[in-house]
Amino acid sequence: MQTPLKVGLIGAGPWPRMVTGPVLDAGPQTCVTGVWSRTTAHAAELAAQLGVPALEDVDALFDSCDAVAIAVAPGAQPELAVRAARAGKTLLLEKPLADDVAGARKIADAVRAGRGGALVMLSNRFNPALDEFVAEAATVDAIGGRGLFVSGAFLGGAFAYGWRLERGAILDVGPHLLDLLEAALGEIAHVQASGDALAWSSLICTHTSGATSSASLCCTVAGDSRTEIEVFGRNGKAAFDGRKIDYTAWADRLRNGLLAVARGEAHPANVERALHLQELIASIESQLSTHARA
């Protein structure tokens, strides 16, 4: 039986408590070796939940593991990711990579120079249904599409705090929606934005394939969360509903993805893609800020 990849956790907020920690510790591909957080009490709570030690400093965490899963605020991720990459660790990074393009580039540069590689938590990439959608989209000779990501996450609950409320849906869920549109229609070369990053934002995307798409994002509306992509072409249409997911298969694909990256294999949820998405987000936020001043 293969020895599981040893993973240290950095961060002890809602996401690592609810998802990253339990999923990586469930194995068999991975196991958690310890937790470190700037908030010592939170680290102790998550470590107790997983039955692993809470480490006193980041270097001690690095000594315990071969891979590092980072789940912190975007502004804090670059420093920690660069340190982990320089220590030769394989990385599981959060989206967005950083709170600005400069921070994202620092991470990408460190990963390129490091030995471990990186997987980014573009969570739809681990949904088996996405593969089926992308394969179907390739058959329709797509000329356009639409995307929607709406939720009430910022109205209250575990994720209604800090940077998400300050920066809005574009920085938080924008990477997911833009990545889905690109999976179906090809890389986005240009995006035109209007609306309010803290309320409803609307996008028009031009893809290098020649297709165009529209997208809407909002995390301050009541009701069920919806992540939807639909593409249309001369041979038909294809649709993806992010609510349809086998979570057991999703968790298995996440662990397998991290293991594959640790072996030096390529994965579509990589740091170069995440940097490209960060650049699109910067353009969108700049446009929305300009509209707000006008």
pLDDT value at residue 81: 98
Q: Are residues 149 and 162 in the same domain?
A: yes
Q: Where does a domain end: 211, 227, 244?
A: 244
Whether 150 and 168 map to the same domain: the answer is yes
Q: Are residues 50 and 145 in the same domain?
A: no
Low-confidence residues of the chain: pLDDT under 50: 294
Query: Within a domain: residue 70?
Result: yes
What total of structural domains would you count in the chain? Answer: 2
Same domain, 237 and 187: yes
145 and 114 belong to one structural domain: no
The domain containing residue 193 runs over which residues?
Answer: 128-244
Instruction: Write the CATH number for 63.
Output: 3.40.50.720
Answer yes or no: do 155 and 88 share one domain.
no
Residue 99: partners with Cβ closer than 8 Å, 6 or more residues away: 73, 74, 75, 163, 167, 171
Please indicate, yes or no, whether residues 225 and 262 belong to a single structural domain of this protein: no
Residue among 31, 24, 25 nearest 4 (CA): 31
Residues 240 and 252 in one domain: no
Q: What is the pTM of this model?
A: 0.95
Residue 175: the pLDDT is: 98
What's the confidence (pLDDT) of residue 290?
A: 64
Q: Which residues contact 116 (CB under 8 A, 6 or more apart)?
A: 66, 67, 84, 85, 88, 89, 90, 91, 261, 262
Question: pLDDT tens digit string along 14-62?
Answer: 999 999 999 999 999 999 999 999 999 999 999 999 999 999 899 999 9
